[in-house]
Amino acid sequence: MQINTNRLLIRKLVPDDWKSMQKIAIDFAQSKYAVYDMPLPVDTAAIISLTEQFAETQLFYAVLLHDVMIGYICLHEDNGNYDFGFCFHSDYQGKGYAFESCRAVMEQITKERNIKTFSAGTALKNKPSCKLLERLGFTLQETEQLSFHKDENGNDITFVGGIFTKQV
């Protein structure tokens, strides 16, 4: 699958995208929102392996602007349910690229797989992600307490996560 939007090229993630994935992972690790998500590895061997695993699923998409990978979009399929996710390098946030590419992928994948519902999760404190999901037509359905990281004393850092859905 390859999608061209007004400004972007979206294609399946391939193993050779590991250097771009590493840049995105390093950038994300420095974000104030990193504490609200599963950590991505940043060392070379681990990111190469992870990128290969992601590419194998055929549900990870590289988002390119002028041949530069600026982010990725992913879907996780579980018994016909599709969980939607995304991560964009901070240099390209707030410019509409995530909305443009996410909308295009959702439209294409809906046609290909006859999807009726998408789900997505994000921390309610991650206002930019919540706003993007709402712009894409997702609505908050419920919340849950989550933790992906520990503080310096080994205690869970908990937060309220939102579970969003979109009917197609």
The residues spanned by each domain of the chain are 2-167
pLDDT at 105: 96
Half-sphere exposure of 24 (CA within 13 A, CB side): 23
pLDDT at 131: 97
In this structure, what token pair is assigned to residue 50? 């992870």
Half-sphere exposure of 162 (CA within 13 A, CB side): 17
User: pLDDT digit of tens for each residue in the chain (168 aa)?
Assistant: 899 999 999 999 999 999 999 999 999 999 999 989 988 999 999 999 999 999 999 899 999 999 999 999 999 987 778 999 999 999 999 999 999 999 999 999 999 888 889 999 999 999 999 999 999 999 999 999 999 999 999 999 999 999 999 998
Sheet containing 156-167: which strands, arranged edge to edge? 2-4, 9-12, 60-65, 68-78, 81-88, 117-123, 156-167, 139-150
Nearest Cα neighbor of 59 from 43, 75, 45 is 75
Q: Please state the pTM of the whole predicted model.
A: 0.93
Domain formed by 2-167, architecture? 3-Layer(aba) Sandwich (3.40)
pLDDT at 114: 83
